[in-house]
Structure 1
Amino acid sequence: MAKATPTKSGHKHERKKGSLAAFPEVKRAVQRRMRTVVGHIQAIERMIEEERYCVEILKQIAAVQAQLSNISHELTKSHMKGCLTGEIHAGRGEEAIEELAEILKYLR
């Protein structure tokens, strides 16, 4: 049986519950997009080593930040559709709202 781990709000989740295991298509998409981000970051490292123009580097950094933001939003959407909806249907709406508020703090 999976071990329960508390979140900052004190709400306990099974380790697999709330994970990408429940969303294999999202997991694959996130993995693919993260590989793209890693490649992009490696390219930025090369640009720095090559002493490229700062504006070019900054544009690439902004592109990586946008990619990570998109990944965060996709994960949040999946979590809301699956996990938070389940919590609400199970009568734990207050906990779901607290968890959503915790998530939103990190998406600024």
Structure 2
Amino acid sequence: MGNTLQGMLEAELEDDLRYSRYDYANKETDNRQNGYSKKTITSSMGDLTINISRDQDGEFKPQVVKKHQTDISTLEDQVLSFRRILTGNRFWFVVWIIQSFSKIPAAYN
């Protein structure tokens, strides 16, 4: 589960920056990936430690695991079922997840 979330967060940052991590030829912004912050989240499988990507300008706002969110137990069943359904392009998987989660009422976040 941690690896799935990690991949989703990295793809989300790449989408936010509008270039792949090492694709400097297509970079159209001064903002860039700037390391990671460790975050411990609680799931039904116990505590997980994940690395949240940071951007240089501090503008990145992850949607998969939001800032200050520590419990993902309501998300993990959805993520695991989505992962089974979508095995193709990582970018479109993340877009679909973000769009789906944005429709979940704030009470569940």
What's the TM-score once normalised by structure 1's chain length?
0.28
Name the structure with the higher strand share. 2
Name the structure with the higher helix share. 1
Larger Rg: 1
What's the TM-score once normalised by structure 2's chain length?
0.28
